[in-house]
Amino acid sequence: MILDKIKNPSDIKKLSLNEKKILSEEIRDIILKTVSENGGHLASNLGVVELTIALLSYLDLDKDKIIWDVGHQCYTYKLLTGRKDKFNTLRKTGGISGFPRSNESNYDFFDVGHSSTSISVALGMARAISIKKEKKKVVAIIGDGALTSGLAMEALNDAGISKTNLIVILNDNKMSISKNTGGLSQFLSHLRTRKTYVKLNSIIRKIVTNIPFIGKYLYKIVAYIKKRIKGLFIKNMYFENIGYTYLGPVNGHNISDMINILKSTNNIDGPILLHVITKKGKGYLKSELEPNKYHAVSPFDINKGLINKHNETYSDIVGNTLVKLAKNDKRIVAVTAAMAEGTGLSNFKKHYPKRFYDVEICEEHALTMSSGMAKEGMIPFVAIYSTFIQRGYDEIIHDICLNDCHVVLLVDRAGNTGNDGETHHGIYDLSFLKTIPNLVIMAPKDAFELYLMIKFSINYHHPIAIRYPKGNIININENKKILLGKSEILKEGRDITILAVGKMVQRSLNISHKLSNDNIDAEVINIRFIKPFDYDTVIQSFNKTHLLVTIEDNDYEYGFAEIITKYINQDKVKSFGYPDTFISHGNISDLEKKYHLDEDSLYNEIIDFYQKNKQV
């Protein structure tokens, strides 16, 4: 294997073009095999194999920096920067991460997982390098999906006038997870047709810069004239107009063209935008045909491809419930930030395309736009993953809650989300949402309660958030009517009270049954409302049992438990959840064991807590 020759990223420079082509096929096979076994991001990775090889052929990673946007497309990079032997552990507990992680390799220059940060980070680095008068190249690689975010636009705007040496590579595959929808994608599709321009560009550059002494200066003059001429042909040369030298578009699967165009940047000062066209899912026909389906996958059979059937998830419940309720309620609209499939809203889109809004990767805009719709009498349901709604903290405070807008926040993937790791766990939403005035926060114990909460949220004419976990649904078959701020006592007891949030309710019920065998009579309360908090029910229960346990799928130090310890003597409360630290990737159940949140660990810890307190 050619890949075995790569001990160090600089070894790629020693390969012939033909060897690089063979290398790209070897890498595709490894990525496909590994992702089919471990799950992960497939289509985006298959699309950037040649681009990564070209970049490593050009850059010197002992000094230069590559900053990946989102980081979900870093598999080729990992294989070529020392992680080939561990690649079979991708995303597994204790294995390598599916995203760049600086604690994994010195070649991962910035930890990432959320979208649209690369240009800001790269510009910051480039500015620092310039202050230090060092000679290092900085390259940001951003997809056309990630480019739609406000953060990327802000960075693009700042870098454009910065005169800082920086290369922004726009990896344009026409797709976010779904197809891009906004005006920017229309603009890019116009640029994509400019194929001949690349060749002309590199030929001029080669001839002129080879002229001794004055070559570089002459090139600047030629480039200026060329820019003017180009402006005549290409309407709205947006990138040039905001300060970039625009290069491309170049075929992102042609290694030699890409190396040439990268080399041609050596003579250009200031920010460069290199437009690279790639095919998402390249090399595996099924993912080429349905790149959205193969964006992020669970393990699958390579020959058969992904099977359409899956067990029903909480996101499905959300999609189905909204479809049902929207039939007779024209006020209901659904909003997503580029996650129609993941959040279950693609179903809503099918039924009510005119009441469905995919605003692309713009969580902040999704929230503020929804506040405007609410002011005009609509009821926007905004479905955003817990980890991505972190982006919208101010919009929830300032636009939704201060303005008392009837917006329903559907906080999907709340809690431990497993294999994507630090950047994707939804374990902070209870901590930060609970600080926001005028926001009601609910967490259902099961699928039916999620349905009831969505119904409840329609008749509650103020800001409201419902958080629910990743994964298959459960049903507990016990549902008292939902009343604002009222929790639900699921099992009465006299020895100890267990306050459980969302997914942890079923686990708490199971534990309480085990405890009965030890003659410990536990009361189990489904908290339902984190805010407003049902102080009366909890205090009544505590006055009876004198011991409290809280269990949540969130950071417990600043999450739900913090509300309890405000009211109740801390010695009498034992809290379970995730500690105040970043939680790495791994199977959900492995991580739960590690943090003592699985049923057995919780049971043992609760017995221990009970016995210690009984002795006192």
Q: Under rule CB under 6 A, which residues in 387-406 are in contact with ligand TPP?
A: 388, 391
Question: Among residues 81 and 278, whose Cβ is nearest to ligand TPP?
Answer: 278
Please report the DSSP string for 211-240 in residue order.
STTTHHHHHHHHHHHHHHHHHHHSS--HHH
Q: Is 240 a catalytic residue?
A: no
Cα–Cα distance measured from residue 156 to residue 148, given in angstroms and rounded to the nearest whole number:
11
Stretch that binds ligand TPP, among 67-75, 190-198, 257-265, 558-566 (CB under 6 A): 67-75
Cα–Cα distance measured from residue 188 to residue 249, given in angstroms and rounded to the nearest whole number:
10
**Among 130, 117, 248, 235, residue whose Cα is nearest residue 186:** 235
Tokens of 574: 């034992």
- Among 51, 70, 447, 606, contact with ligand TPP (rule: CB under 6 A): 70
Judged by CB under 6 A, the number of residues near ligand TPP is 23
Distances (CA, A) of 519 to 365, 515, 544: 54, 6, 17
Question: Among residues 42 and 551, whose Cβ is nearest to ligand TPP?
Answer: 42
Binding characters for ligand TPP, 143-182, by CB under 6 A (x = yes): xxxx------------------------x-x-xxx-----
Distances (CA, A) of 80 to 16, 118, 168, 437: 16, 21, 21, 49
Please report the DSSP string for 83-126 in residue order.
-STTGGGTTSTTS--SS--TTT-TT--S---SSS-HHHHHHHHH
Cα–Cα distance measured from residue 444 to residue 448, given in angstroms and rounded to the nearest whole number:
8
Per the rule left: phi > 0, alpha: psi between -120 and 50, beta: everything else, 546 is left
Non-local (6+) Cβ contacts of 398 within 8 A are: none
CB of 155 to ligand TPP, least distance (A): 14
- Active-site residue identified among 104, 341, 360, 363: 363
Asked whether position 361 contacts ligand TPP by CB under 6 A, the answer is: yes
Residue 249 preceded by cis peptide, ω within 30: yes
* CA-angle at 260, arms to 255 and 261, nearest 5°: 100
Cα–Cα distance measured from residue 350 to residue 487, given in angstroms and rounded to the nearest whole number:
36
Non-local (6+) Cβ contacts of 537 within 8 A are: 486, 487, 489, 525
Asked whether position 426 contacts ligand TPP by CB under 6 A, the answer is: no
CB of 361 to ligand TPP, least distance (A): 5
Rg (CA), the chain: 27
* Segment (H or E) for 372: helix 363-375
Q: Enumerate the β-bridge partners of residue 274.
A: 169, 247
Question: Among residues 6 and 361, whose Cβ is nearest to ligand TPP?
Answer: 361
Stretch that binds ligand TPP, among 68-76, 97-105, 312-320, 438-446 (CB under 6 A): 68-76
Q: Enumerate the β-bridge partners of residue 549.
A: 498, 574
Question: Among residues 50 and 446, whose Cβ is nearest to ligand TPP?
Answer: 50
CB of 245 to ligand TPP, least distance (A): 22
Q: Is 363 a catalytic residue?
A: yes
Stretch that binds ligand TPP, among 31-39, 120-128, 141-149, 370-378 (CB under 6 A): 141-149
- Active-site residue identified among 65, 280, 445, 467: 280
Inter-residue contact 87 to 79 (CB < 8 Å): yes
Q: Under rule CB under 6 A, which residues in 431-470 are in contact with ligand TPP?
A: none
Question: Among residues 336 and 487, whose Cβ is nearest to ligand TPP?
Answer: 336
Question: Among residues 111 and 363, whose Cβ is nearest to ligand TPP?
Answer: 363
CB of 201 to ligand TPP, least distance (A): 24
Question: Among residues 381 and 388, whose Cβ is nearest to ligand TPP?
Answer: 388
Q: Is 280 a catalytic residue?
A: yes
Binding characters for ligand TPP, 1-40, by CB under 6 A (x = yes): ----------------------------------------
CB of 401 to ligand TPP, least distance (A): 21
Q: Which residue has the closest beta carbon to ligand TPP?
A: 143
* Residue 367 three-state SS: helix
CB of 474 to ligand TPP, least distance (A): 26
Asked whether position 287 contacts ligand TPP by CB under 6 A, the answer is: no
Non-local (6+) Cβ contacts of 227 within 8 A are: 237, 240, 245
Asked whether position 280 contacts ligand TPP by CB under 6 A, the answer is: yes
Asked whether position 115 contacts ligand TPP by CB under 6 A, the answer is: yes
Question: Among residues 209 and 390, whose Cβ is nearest to ligand TPP?
Answer: 390
Asked whether position 44 contacts ligand TPP by CB under 6 A, the answer is: yes
Question: Among residues 39 and 493, whose Cβ is nearest to ligand TPP?
Answer: 39
Asked whether position 114 contacts ligand TPP by CB under 6 A, the answer is: yes
Cα–Cα distance measured from residue 258 to residue 253, given in angstroms and rounded to the nearest whole number:
8
CB of 48 to ligand TPP, least distance (A): 7
- Active-site residue identified among 286, 391, 470, 528: 391
Asked whether position 359 contacts ligand TPP by CB under 6 A, the answer is: no
Question: Among residues 176 and 416, whose Cβ is nearest to ligand TPP?
Answer: 176
Q: Enumerate the β-bridge partners of residue 3.
A: none
CB of 528 to ligand TPP, least distance (A): 28
Question: Among residues 72 and 445, whose Cβ is nearest to ligand TPP?
Answer: 72
Distances (CA, A) of 61 to 55, 64, 264, 476: 10, 5, 19, 54
**Among 525, 426, 422, 498, residue whose Cα is nearest residue 468:** 426
Cα–Cα distance measured from residue 128 to residue 125, given in angstroms and rounded to the nearest whole number:
5
CB of 472 to ligand TPP, least distance (A): 21
Stretch that binds ligand TPP, among 57-65, 137-145, 351-359, 497-505 (CB under 6 A): 137-145
Active-site residue numbers? 280, 363, 391
Chain residues in the site for ligand TPP (CB under 6 A) = 44, 47, 70, 72-73, 114-115, 143-146, 171, 173, 175-177, 280, 338-339, 361, 363, 388, 391
